[in-house]
Amino acid sequence: MRKLHLQDRKKMIHNFNAGPSIMPQEVFDKAANAILNFRDTGLSILEIGHRTALFQSVLDEAVQLVKELMKLDADHEVLFLHGGATTQFFQVPMNLLNENQSAAYLDCGTWGTKAIKEARLFGNVDVVASSKDKNYTYIPKGYKIPADAAYFHYTTNNTIEGTEMFSIPDTGVPLIADMSSDILSYETDFNRFALIYAGAQKNIGAAGVNMVVVRKDILGKVNRKLPGMMDYRKHIEAGSMLNTPPVFAIYVCLLTLRWLKNQGGVHAIEKINKAKAALLYETLDARQGFEPTVAKEDRSRMNVVFLIPDPLLEKKFIDACKEQQMVGVKGHRSVGGFRVSLYNALPLESVKALTDLIKQI
């Protein structure tokens, strides 16, 4: 059993994991308390009914906070669903793409590639651009989206390859984005999207739930019959309670959303995220032997990917990270090298500690 109090643990460990990933300290503390005694009921959050006023208030507040933090208009609904972002890869085309229609997809990373594969089960996929030619180390630009596309789908942040797209493309068709790894990390006009989805385990909470923001008017247009659990409209009608929702995971989202609001919301966290990424990239660029892999203009502020070609220096870096309790820096198995994730909850101090190490090694 872990004997350390969590407060002490955080002083020692710098957690750069890509997902599930670091969460705010107060979220750990409050979630732990809720498991033992939820809101002084004497009951654990793990044993209360989901159709109780107690849980309804959790869900309502979480939905309200998402609307507030994302500045959503009244046409957008917020859902908490199961199955991770990976389920959205097929739920999106199942709800929005007829068999005889085409949807436009941007192929700019591993997750987008998976989304494309799943969409092909339901209709035609028009891959309008791809950065596969350079191992997805840049974001394609200057592509055209057919005016009759059912929608345009892209991944805002490529968690594995370390690229990020900050500007929203002007397409003339409904916009759909997988924002799993950069949602609520910078200000953008979320209302421009017809549908946004995000697994919770990077910036919003614990694994086991994913968030979907959907504009109601795009629904109900496909010909195929949908199983209830796959139909966004059914989830909207049921207020995310078509069946037993992931109660604890949603509660952890609520705690994280409250924390974000208390930090000053997305505007405030964006400033910190920019400072963290700038410090790390500047340090890497200045340090011989460390090579960021991504084109400068497309560098992600959430996942920083780099190589250390010299095996001796690489080993030194790995050993130093171990010694200084820096975890989660190893790159994705498909890319190699290193990946340092700088999600909302990662404090600037952890980036300072890492950049000090990089400078000194």
Ligand X SMILES: *Cc1c(COP(=O)(O)O)cnc(C)c1O
Single out the segment in contact with ligand X by CB under 6 A; choices: 35-43, 79-87, 241-249, 342-350. 79-87
What's 85-147 look like in SS3? HHHHHHHHHHHHCCCCCEEEEEECCHHHHHHHHHHCCCCEEEEEEECHHHCCCCCCCCCCCCC
CA gap 241, 234 in Å, rounded: 9
- DSSP for 173-233 reads S-EEEE-TTTTTSS---GGG-SEEEEETTTTTS-TT-EEEEEEGGGSS--SS---GGG-HH
| Rounded least distance, CB 177 to ligand X, Å | 9
Single out the segment in contact with ligand X by CB under 6 A; choices: 78-86, 139-147, 245-253, 342-350. 78-86
Question: Which DSSP helix (H) or strand (E) runs through 338?
Answer: strand 338-341
Q: Does 203 bind ligand X (CB under 6 A)?
A: no
Enter the tokens of residue 97.
């793409």
Q: Does 181 bind ligand X (CB under 6 A)?
A: yes
**List 30, 111, 231, 276, catalytic entry:** 111
Q: Which of 14, 19, 119, 131 binds ligand X (CB under 6 A)?
A: 19
CA 130-184-252 angle, to 5 degrees, is 120
| Rounded least distance, CB 180 to ligand X, Å | 3
Single out the segment in contact with ligand X by CB under 6 A; choices: 32-40, 51-59, 81-89, 250-258. 81-89
Q: Which of 16, 38, 90, 111 binds ligand X (CB under 6 A)?
A: 111
Pairing of strands 195-199, 175-178: parallel
CA gap 216, 183 in Å, rounded: 20
Q: Does 205 bind ligand X (CB under 6 A)?
A: no
**List 30, 182, 202, 276, catalytic entry:** 202
| Rounded least distance, CB 322 to ligand X, Å | 25
Q: Which of residues 271-310 bind ligand X (CB under 6 A)?
A: none
Question: Which residues share a beta bridge with 125?
Answer: 103
Q: Which of residues 133-162 bind ligand X (CB under 6 A)?
A: 155, 159
- # residues contacting ligand X (CB under 6 A): 13
Respond yes or no: is residue 315 known to be catalytic. no
Question: Which residues share a beta bridge with 212?
Answer: 79, 197
Q: Which of 161, 164, 178, 298 binds ligand X (CB under 6 A)?
A: 178
- Active-site residues, by number, are 111, 178, 202
Residues that bind ligand X (CB under 6 A): 19, 84-86, 111, 155, 159, 178, 180-181, 199, 202, 210
